Structure formats: C-alpha cells, structure tokens
Amino acid sequence: MPSVTYISATGRETAVAGFAGDSVMETAVRNGVPGIVAECGGSLSCATCHVFVCAGSVFPAMEDLEDDMLDGTAIDREENSRLSCQLKLGDADIRVATPETQV
C-alpha cells in the first residue's frame, strides 16, 4: 500500500496508507486529513483540492482543464501545483504539501 504524506502549511505531517488507483484527494478526505476541501468530490469543478507536489513524487502531466483550474486556486499556484483529485496513487509513496487555504 502506498503511503501518502500530507504536509500542512504550518509544517505538520500526516501520513496515511492509500490504495493504488485512489486519488491523493480521496485519500485525504476519507481519512479526514485537513487542508484539502474538495467540494466537488473530484469532478474538476471547484479547485479546492490544490496541493504542491514535493520533490521526488512524480505524477503524469496535467491536462488542459486542470491547468486552467489551477489559475483559480485560493492560494496562487506554483511550479509544482496540482489538483489532488487528478493525482492517482500508484505503488510509490507520495509527499504533497497543502496550501494555507483552499477557498
């Protein structure tokens, strides 16, 4: 089972066991990890599951819609910004940081 570590804006780390195929967003929400809101439940409608992917964690490139939505996150996007509903877990352990706010 891949482990997903979420690092809050204040530096607090929460590690959760995830399942391959689930998204980084789903894994956070089901386990009650704060910092990811995900109002739309993963349908690319809300831009409230913004994360910063930490060095060493790799995901496939984003599609245009995700890229567009990232322009509207509550905290400005950075180079390593992604919407966590689009990040599917594989076998590898993952680390992401969550922004100060999502809405």
Partner 1 sequence: MTDTAASARHASLGTLIIGNCQAGVQLACSLRELGDTDPIVLVGEEPHAPYQRPPLSKAFLKGEITADSLTFRTHDFYREHNIELVTRERIVSISRDGSGGTAVAESGRRFDFARLALTTGAVPRQIPFDGSELEGVGYLRTATDATQLEQALGSARKLVVVGGGFIGLEVAAGARVAGLTVTVLEAAPRLVGRAVSEQTSEFYLQAHRRRGTRVVLNAQVVRFLGEHDRVTGVELGDGTVVPADVVLIGVGVIPRTELAEQLGLAIDNGIVVDGSALCSDGFTVAAGDCANLPNPSITPGGVARLRLESVQNAIEQGKVAAATLLGLPAEYSTVPWFWSDQADLKLQIAGLSGGHDQIVLRGEPDSEKFSVLYYRAGQLIAADCINKPLDFIAVRGALNHGQNVPADLAGDVTIPLKKLVSAAPALAGK
Residues at the contact surface with partner 1, assessed by CB under 8 A: 22, 26, 29-32, 34, 37, 39-41, 43-47, 65, 68-69, 71-72, 103
Q: How far is the CB of 54 from partner 1 (least distance, A)?
A: 24
Is residue 6 within 8 A of residue 14, CB to CB? The reply is yes
Which residue, 17 or 54, is less far from partner 1 as judged by CB? 17
Q: How far is the CB of 16 from partner 1 (least distance, A)?
A: 10
Q: Least distance in Å: CB of 56 to partner 1?
A: 27
**Cβ distance to partner 1 smaller for residue 54 or 100:** 100
Residue 13 DSSP SS3: strand
DSSP at 83: E
Shortest Cβ distance from residue 13 to partner 1 (Å)? 17
Residues in the chain: 103
Upper half-sphere CA count for residue 93 (Cβ side, 13 Å): 7
